[in-house]
Structure 1
Amino acid sequence: MMEPQPAAVIVGVDRNENKETFDYSMEELANLSLACGVMVAGQLTQRLDHPTPSHYIGAGKVQELSAMMKACGAEMAIFNDELSPSQIRNLEASLQCKVIDRTLLILDIFAERAQTREAQLQVEVARLQYMLPRLVGLRESLGRQRGGVGTKNRGAGETKLELDRRRIEAKITALNKDLETLVYQRQLQRKLRKKNEIPVVCLVGYTNTGKSTLMNALLDRSRSPGSRKAVFVKDMLFATLQTHVRSMELPDRKSFLLTDTVGFVSKLPHDLVKAFRSTLEEVAEADLLIHVVDASHPEAEQMAAVTEETLRELGADGIPVIYAYNKCDLCSGKALPPMRDNAILLSAKLQFGLEELLQAVSSRIFSDYVRCEMLIPFDQGRLVTYFNDHAEVLASSYEVEGTRLQLECKRSDFERNQAYVIRD
Structure 2
Amino acid sequence: MVTSTELSLNTLLKFLQIPAEYARYEQIVETEPLAALDEWKCRTKNALGELAALLKQRQADEEKGLVFSIQEQADLICAVVPFAEGDGEWRSEEMAVVARGILETMLFLPPSVPLLRHILTNNIKPIFRSNPHPSLNLETGRKLARPAGGPMASQDYYDSQTWKQHPGVGVVVQWCANCIEPEVYEELWHLIIPPTMALLDDYEVKYKIQGIQVVSTMLERVPASLLKRTGIDGLIHISLKTCLSHLQNEETPRLLRSAISTSLTLTQRTTDLGTSEHFNQLCALLGEGIISGIWTYADDKPAAVLATYDALPPVLEALGVGCSRYLNVLVPQLVHPLLPKPLVPFGPELQIAALRALNVIIEQCAPRIQGWKTVILDAVGRCWVTMYDSERDKAAKGLENLDRDHGEYSFFYATPMP
TM-score, L = length of structure 2: 0.24
Higher strand fraction (1 or 2): 1
TM-score, L = length of structure 1: 0.24
